[in-house]
Amino acid sequence: MRRRVLDWYAVHARPLPWRDPETTAWGVFVSEVMSQQTPVGRVEPVWREWLARWPTAGDLAAESPGEVVRAWGRLGYPRRALRLREAAVAMVEHHDGEVPQDEDALRSLPGVGAYTAAAVAAFAHGRRTVVVDTNVRRVLARTLQGRAQAAPALTAAESRLAAEVVPQDPETSAVWNVAVMELGALVCRARSPECEACPVRDLCAWVAAGRPADDGPPRRGQAWHGTDRQVRGAIVQTLRESPDAIARAGLEHAVCTRLRLDPARHAAQVDRCVGSLVEDGLVEPVDGDRLRLPA
């Protein structure tokens, strides 16, 4: 199974810029933070702009938080932009401006969890780690366990299984980690998997069992329109587009207009979301009731 997946990846891997051998560890780090819960197609142009503007951790650390949020564009979850800058500051202060190689040191950086630490150690530094995302979990659940989907949340058993299949050789293990993720992203998709194109189809326990349906709890899609997450994003985008601070009342009106929300019903929600963004450091009050991105 390992050999077939690795051979498949050698032919079918997408030519993403952060996979170029010449990409720095900082470039890989930025790509991993940007790719959290965000499609690769949206990440690539922003990643290129960021690396051209801030080619090192020191360059980003010296930038203002507001400009970093502004440059984040529409990648979503703008708090990640602030955490990325904070991680850059920590690298400058504690790691001579370099991306740490050790997983524990990586996890100590702001905004870096177990997945990102393992991915950066593997893909930036060639360390033997266990990189487990939703794609990896789904591929292993199907091929080795005969299940249509992985558990709703990562389990200890899934982590142990993923660790067992990672090759011992560090260089090969790094390629395996990205190869099995790529297989899940391109072929073994959650919906409409392309089993005919899968390099391990004849080894897959799920295919051998007749591709049984998922027997777990129903997976409901997340609502979007009118949610706090949508409102927060609209607030940040409105401030990003304005060269000057905006009065709170004007901001509430602009957000409701942008999202086609009834101001009478949603003014309190917008106000609450503004407050949460101020607490998160993504919005800064100035001159009484005016608001802007952080300086």
| Cβ atoms of residues 278 and 267 within 8 Å | no
Q: What is the pLDDT of residues 170-195, one digit of tens each?
A: 999 999 999 999 999 999 999 999 99
Q: What is the pLDDT of residues 111-145, one digit of tens each?
A: 999 999 999 999 999 999 999 999 999 999 999 99
Q: Which DSSP state fits 222?
A: P
Residue predicted with more confidence, 221 or 287: 287
How would residue 288 be classed by pLDDT, with cut points 50, 70 and 90?
confident
| Residues designated as active site | 32
Mean model confidence pLDDT for the chain:
94
- pLDDT exceeds cutoff 80 at 218: no
List, in order of start, the domains of the chain with CATH numbers: 2-125 (1.10.340.30), 134-208 (1.10.1670.10), 228-292 (1.10.10)
Give the C-alpha separation, 11 to 203, whole Å: 20
Q: pTM for the complete prediction?
A: 0.86
Q: What is the pLDDT of residues 221-246, one digit of tens each?
A: 567 788 998 999 999 999 999 989 99
| Cβ atoms of residues 232 and 192 within 8 Å | no
Give the C-alpha separation, 23 to 25, whole Å: 7
| Cβ atoms of residues 166 and 136 within 8 Å | no
